[in-house]
Amino acid sequence: MSVSLKPILSVSNLITGYGLTSVIKGIDFDVYEGEIVGLVGPNGAGKTTFLETIAGTIKSKAGKIFWRQKCINSLSVMARRKLGIMLVPQEAYIFPMMTVKANLEVTGIFNNHTETKRLMAYVHEIFPVLRTREKQIANTLSGGERKMLAVGMGIISNAKLIMIDEPSIGLAPKLVTKLLENLKKIKEDTGRTLVLAEQNVKILNVADRIYGLEAGEMRFCDKTQNLDETMVAELYMGK
Ligand SMILES: Nc1ncnc2c1ncn2[C@@H]1O[C@H](COP(=O)(O)OP(=O)(O)OP(=O)(O)O)[C@@H](O)[C@H]1O
Ligand SMILES: [Mg+2]
């Protein structure tokens, strides 16, 4: 893996939450170009709140978020999206009344036509079901198919950093393995950077580094190969 020396995303002493409550209590978090970062933590740890704050759907209370060394705290969701930061939310976000094909096409809106075509072919290669069901209305897809469509939309977008909140949720074990392997392939083939919030232990097979979040505080951060898998699974994945 080749990574650049400066992080593309750098979060410093971030505090965020709802109303007067702070859910994320002052955390630091760095992501380097071309890596897969796993964010693990039990239910309620604050993973979704944290990712939503980076995407801009939740406003931070304190701390700084830098994208390529530029502070983006004051930028809107759309401005961050234009920079290349995209979140695939926990509840797979799709346009329910549009076809599978139209969902994918509309997400490529910032790309030129040739690029969208190339990425569409790539998405069909890794998720063949999205080709066979391209004329189907999205809200009639199964939960697993919806998740694949949401991830496919992330790939087809021009996002440089794709954050996926619980990619494995609702998927059968075999599909989880396949999806995570495909995410690794996406990283290798397209140079995208990925942040995956996960509670499935299989994340340890694909992530380059892992951050462990618990009760809104970052408990550890290390290269996956240095981690004690049993400890991570027991303490951060409720296994
Ligand atoms: N809209 C909200 N208003 C108030 N509190 C909220 C809101 N959304 C989440 N919370 C609280 O914030 C805390 C962190 O929730 P969050 O969804 O970020 O955790 P998570 O790590 O993503 O959990 P899970 O693994 O269950 O998805 C929880 O205690 C939750 O109840
Ligand atoms: Mg969550």
pLDDT in tens, 34-92: 999 999 999 999 999 999 999 999 999 999 999 999 999 999 999 999 999 999 988 77
* Highest averaged pLDDT of the listed ranges 16-20, 105-109, 119-123: 16-20
Assign 197 to helix, strand or coil: strand
Burial of 128 (0-12, 13-18, 19+ CB in 10 A): exposed
Q: What is the DSSP string of 6-53?
A: S-SEEEEEEEEEETTEEEEEEEEEEE-TT-EEEEE--TTSSHHHHHHH
Q: Are the C-beta atoms of 196 and 181 separated by less than 8 Å?
A: no
Is the CB of residue 41 below 6 angstroms from any atom belonging to ligand 1?
yes
| pLDDT above 60 for 4 | no
For residue 195, what is the enclosing H or E element? strand 193-198
With a 6 Å cutoff on the Cβ, whether 49 touches ligand 1 is yes
Q: Which helix (H) or strand (E) holds 66?
A: strand 60-67
Better pLDDT: 239 or 113: 113
The whole-chain average pLDDT of the chain stands at 91
Q: Enter the DSSP assignment of 202.
A: G
Buried b (16+ CB within 10 A) or exposed e, 168-183: bbbbeeeebbebbebb
Using the atom order of ligand 1, give the atom closest to the CA of residue 17.
12
- Would you say the CB of residue 193 lies under 6 angstroms from ligand 1? no
> Pick the residue with more confidence: 17 or 143?
17
Among 16, 18, 25, 91, say which to mutate for ligand 1: greatest number of ligand atoms within 8 Å of CB.
18
Q: Crossing angle of helices 113-126/100-107, nearest 10°?
A: 130
The DSSP result for 171-190, as a single string, is --HHHHHHHHHHHHHHHHHH
Q: With contact defined as beta carbons under 8 Å apart, do 131 and 104 qualify?
A: no
Amino acid at 229: E
Residue 2: pLDDT over 60: no
d(CA 120, CA 152): 8
For range 135-150, the mean pLDDT: 91
Task: Taking each helix axis as running N to C, give the angle between helix 173-190 and helix 113-126, from 0 to 180 degrees, rounded to the nearest 10.
Answer: 140
| Ligand nearest to the CA of residue 52, numbered in listed order | 1
Q: Judge if the beta carbon of residue 212 lies within 6 A of ligand 1.
A: no
Residues β-bridged to residue 197: 39, 165
Cα(239)–Cα(231) distance, integer angstroms = 10
CA geometry: angle at 168 spanning 36 and 46, to 5°?
70
Determine the pLDDT at residue 239. Answer: 54
For 34-40+80-236, the fitting CATH number among 1.10.510.10, 3.40.50.2300, 3.40.50.300, 2.40.10.10 is: 3.40.50.300
Q: Could you tell me the residue ranges of all domains in the chain?
A: 34-40+80-236
CA distance 220 to 212: 5
Under the banding of pLDDT at 50, 70 and 90, the label for residue 237 is confident
Residues 157, 129 contacting (CB under 8 angstroms):
no
Give the global pTM: 0.92
